Amino acid sequence: MRKLSDVLLQRKKIRLTPFRVKEIIEDISEIPQGVQMIQAPALWEKSNKGEGVVIAVIDTGCQTDHPDLKDRIIGGRNFTDKGEPDNFSDDNGHGTHVAGTIAATENNSGVMGVAPLAKLLILKVLDKYGSGNYQNIIDAINYAIKWRGPNKEKVRIISMSLGGSTDVSKLHDAVIKGVKNNIIVVCASGNNGDNNSKTDELSYPAAYNEAVSVGAIDFLKRITKYSNSNNNVDLVAPGDEIISTYLDGKYAKLSGTSMSTPHVSGAIALIINMCEAEFGRTLMESEIYAQLIRRTTSLDLDKRSEGNGMLDLSRI
């Protein structure tokens, strides 16, 4: 017999953090402004552009044949009740956009991601409406922890641009388990901000202390009005009018803390490669976090909004 708590986890909804689609673009060829703003190209040579680092993207899936993404996907799984388990295609667009900011490949057209040689494990947990349940997320995190690639690769980073208003102990346990397995868990802080840094807006799993909570700034380095504020925000990254990959092989400008999060996830892939080459060993999750926070610049704003500051990979 299923426990009542398990039934509630299936029924309790979790959603994409609300986001805005500004514009859909047919064709483009550029390094997006957000990728440049965090100074990702400054680390590309030393980090080999994130090659070999596997990032699990827990989201709406991904357009697996998008020209900028098809060579970056190492595997995937569908945890929703729609479609077969091996069909992790994206029917929303959000997951494809997130994936592109992390790792869109260098192919002389389209866009480039923060870590254009990293590998993506696509874990679909949300449907075309951006809705799912807590159990989907928990199952995807546990899957990412146990997953092994064709050459025994392991997931090093989990990226989640989603959230819910309910603190669920089993979700917290899954995040803790990931961290204990040396996976750094990066989450969108949420888009329920009221433009007042003194008030708390909490979204889970970002609000868990073990997660890296990412807020949003615009290209003028201002905190966006919608970005959540609370004591668990770790840092901020570009999240307003971010250009990345989208459905049907196209590109789009989207806004939200969902767009900030993949900048950080991709940046961590660069940091892992650079620092592990320098130190000659595998870094622990706590060490990776410390190296990430070293590469932030304070914007002299309330810490509840900016955390440790803006992601800046030029800082060493």
What does DSSP assign to residue 48?
G
pLDDT at 27: 83
List the helix and strand counts (H, then E) for the chain: 9, 17
Q: How far apart are the C-alpha atoms of 234 and 238, rounded to whole Å?
A: 14
Helical axes 285-294 vs 257-279, angle rounded to 10°: 110
In sequence order, the 6+-apart residues with CB closer than 8 A to the CB of 71 are: 105
Confirm whether 59 is a catalytic residue.
Answer: yes
Q: What's the length of the chain?
A: 316
Confirm whether 109 is a catalytic residue.
Answer: no
pLDDT in tens, 151-181: 999 999 999 999 999 999 999 999 999 999 9
Check: CATH 3.10.129.10 for 19-311?
Answer: no
The strand pairing partners of 111, in sequence order, are 30
> Is residue 1's pLDDT more than 80?
no
**Predicted structure pTM score:** 0.94
% of the chain beyond a pLDDT of 70? 94
Q: Where do we find the tokens 């992601």? A: 311
The one catalytic residue in 66, 94, 97, 172 is 94
> Is residue 20's pLDDT more than 80?
no
Confirm whether 258 is a catalytic residue.
Answer: yes
The one catalytic residue in 89, 197, 229, 258 is 258
Domain boundaries, the chain: 19-311
Q: What's the chain's average pLDDT?
A: 94
